[in-house]
């Protein structure tokens, strides 16, 4: 079968020499139909995320259940599903108190269900959605309605869930809260939409590409700030300390919530600097391992400001994915509009080029 395989030294290749084993107990064999291309995939190629080779790539997919293993009860062959990347155990304390992203089995759970050129080949992010077929746990298979386009549904598997969940689960944004979103890819645009649903206002979008303003406003942003110098000051001009002063004691003024979705350390520092008293900066994007960001501790301690990290939107996939799909069907959450372009799997390098050039909200590969 075909798939994109990471072969090491920053390289990946499209191959026909990939195979996958049969599903075991509690597992599901899925035929992929569409897969979003995420920055996390590229982060393996550029070394930001260390990952051993060979590995079948991809983690943002939607498809059809082909075969189920013994004891599978949540899905059946023929079901249309979104593939959650959280392969949690469903039994531990964290799973049972509603935090599957904190399950010890949900991270670092590399397995080798594939064979590449006759050698064992691992999965990636418990999913491997850039292969024609993959194996996942049944907990990862979240059923969707048959009339939902796979090209839109696949985005929920990672980017949409990460951005929206960071707002609803990680931050628990309330009506009337003020917010800023740094980075307007699929994650950032999803965070903006979730802020709209939550009732935040204003919603300030920040990106280094000026053409992203129109997209941000289409998805619900009330203001746009072009990234660069003095971003925090420009945010305070929108949400000032008083009617006559943008900034007050201990940098008063700014937003209640600042979501950093690009993984850029300078943007995270700007997010912290843009906080109102009692505000929280939310680190959503993933930088290179070892990245550190200096923050003004006194301004945090004295005024109840916070810096938190959120993994995968603190998602509870079997609850949150149906919630997003319901909002989508009610025309309250845009998915179709997020798909800038679709590509055949053979054009995966074109998709990466376009993503790096900043021309995509999301690119989707089809099988």
**pLDDT tens track for 100-156:** 999 999 987 789 999 999 999 999 999 999 999 999 999 999 999 999 999 999 999
Mean pLDDT across 192-204:
98
pLDDT value at 345 more than 90:
yes
Contact 334, 193 (CB under 8 A): yes
Q: For residue 318, tell me if it sits in a domain.
A: no
User: Domain check: are 122 and 251 in the same one?
Assistant: no
Model confidence at 288: pLDDT above 90: no
Could you tell me which residues come within 8 angstroms of residue 322 by beta carbon, excluding any fewer than 6 positions away? 142
CATH number at residue 281: 3.40.50.720
Residue 330 within a domain: no
On whether residue 283 sits in a domain, the answer given is: yes
Q: What pLDDT, on a 0 to 100 scale, did the predictor assign at position 144?
A: 98
User: Is 341:112 a contact under the CB 8 Å cutoff?
Assistant: no
Residues 111 and 184 in one domain: no
CA 268 from chain centre, in angstroms, equals 17
Cα-based distances in Å from 263 to 38, 91, 119, 151, 187: 13, 32, 34, 25, 11
pLDDT at residue 21 tops 90: yes
**Domain count for the chain:** 2
Is 322 within a domain? no
Distances (CA, A) of 146 to 36, 53, 198, 204: 19, 35, 28, 35
323, part of any domain: no
In a domain, 206, yes or no: yes
Strands (E), 74-222: 80-83, 114-116, 119-121, 133-137, 141-143, 179-182, 203-207
pLDDT (0 to 100) of residue 40: 87
Judged on CB neighbours under 10 Å (0-12, 13-18, 19+), 279 is buried
- Distance separating the N- and C-terminal Cα atoms of the chain: 11
Q: Are residues 14 and 123 in the same domain?
A: yes
Q: Is residue 320 part of a domain?
A: no
Where residue 321 falls among pLDDT bands split at 50, 70, 90? very high
Residue range 154-181, pLDDT digits in tens = 999 999 999 999 999 999 999 999 999 9
Judgement on whether residues 15 and 141 belong to the same structural domain of the protein: yes
* Residue 160: predicted pLDDT: 98
pTM metric for this prediction: 0.96
Residue 199 shares a structural domain with residue 282 = yes
Residue 145 belongs to domain with CATH number: 3.90.180.10
Digit-coded pLDDT (tens) for 211-251: 999 999 999 999 999 998 899 999 999 999 999 999 999 99
In a shared domain, residues 9 and 151:
yes
Does 87 share its domain with 165?
A: no
Place of tokens 């249309």: 80
**All residues at 6 or more sequence positions from 125 whose CB lies less than 8 Å from its CB, including other chains:** 40, 59, 85
Residues 112 and 198 grouped into a single domain: no
> Does residue 319 belong to any structural domain of this protein?
no
254-281 pLDDT, tens digit each: 999 999 999 999 999 999 999 999 999 9
Shared domain for 353 and 309, answered yes or no, is no
Domain with 300, as residue range(s), is: 160-313
């Amino acid at each position: 079968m075909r798939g994109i395989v990471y072969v090491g030294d920053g390289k990946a290749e499209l191959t026909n020499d990939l195979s996958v084993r049969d599903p075991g107990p509690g597992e599901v064999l899925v035929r992929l139909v569409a897969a979003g291309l995420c920055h996390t995939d590229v982060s393996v190629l550029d070394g930001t995320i260390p990952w051993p080779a060979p590995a079948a790539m991809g983690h943002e997919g939607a498809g059809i259940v082909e075969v189920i293993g013994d004891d599978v009860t949540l899905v059946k062959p023929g079901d249309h599903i979104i593939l959650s990347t959280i392969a949690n155990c469903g039994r531990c304390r964290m799973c049972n108190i509603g935090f599957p992203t904190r399950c010890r089995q949900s991270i670092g759970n590399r397995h080798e269900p594939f064979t590449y050129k006759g050698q064992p080949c691992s999965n990636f992010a418990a999913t491997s959605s850039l292969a024609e077929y993959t194996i996942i746990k049944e907990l990862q298979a979240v059923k969707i309605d048959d009339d939902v386009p796979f090209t839109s549904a696949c985005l929920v598997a990672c980017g949409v869930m990460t951005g929206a969940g960071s707002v609803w689960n990680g931050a628990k944004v309330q009506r009337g809260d003020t917010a800023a979103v740094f980075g307007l890819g699929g994650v950032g645009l999803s965070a903006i939409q979730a802020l709209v649903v939550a009732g935040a206002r204003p919603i300030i979008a920040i990106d280094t590409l000026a053409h992203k303003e129109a997209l941000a406003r289409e998805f619900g942003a009330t203001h746009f700030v072009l990234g660069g110098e003095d971003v925090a000051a420009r945010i305070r001009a929108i949400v000032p300390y008083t009617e006559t002063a943008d900034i007050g004691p201990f940098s008063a003024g700014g937003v209640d919530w600042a979501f950093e979705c690009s993984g850029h350390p300078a943007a995270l520092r700007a997010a912290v600097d843009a906080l109102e008293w009692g505000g929280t900066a939310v680190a959503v994007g993933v930088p290179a391992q070892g990245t550190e960001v200096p923050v003004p501790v006194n301004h945090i301690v004295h005024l109840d400001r916070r810096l938190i990290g959120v993994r995968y939107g603190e998602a509870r996939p079997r609850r949150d994915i149906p919630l997003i799909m319901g909002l989508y069907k009610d025309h309250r959450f845009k998915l179709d509009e997020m798909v800038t372009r679709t590509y055949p799997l053979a054009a995966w390098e074109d998709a990466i080029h376009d993503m790096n050039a900043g021309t995509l909200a999301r690119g989707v590969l089809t099988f």
